[in-house]
Homo-oligomer: A and B are copies of this chain.
Amino acid sequence: MDENNKKILKEGGYRITPQRTQVLCAISTNPQSVEEIYETVSQGTIKTDLASVYRALTLFVKLKLVQAVNFGDGKDRYEILNTHKHHHHALCTRCGKITDVELQDGKKLEREASKKTNYRITGHSLEFFGICHNCCNA
8 A Cβ contacts from A93-138 to B: 93, 99, 101-104, 109-110, 112-114, 116-133, 136
> Is there contact, CB below 8 Å, between A93 and B122?
yes
A125 with B72: in contact, given A90-B117, A116-B102 (CB under 8 Å)?
Answer: yes
Number of interface residues of A (CB under 8 A): 40
> Is there contact, CB below 8 Å, between A132 and B119?
yes
> Is there contact, CB below 8 Å, between B88 and A101?
no
* Residues of B with C-beta under 8 A to A59: none
Contact of A121 among B72, B112, B128 (CB under 8 A): B128
**Is A54 on the interface with B (CB-CB < 8 A)?**
no
A37 vs chain B, min Cβ distance (A): 17
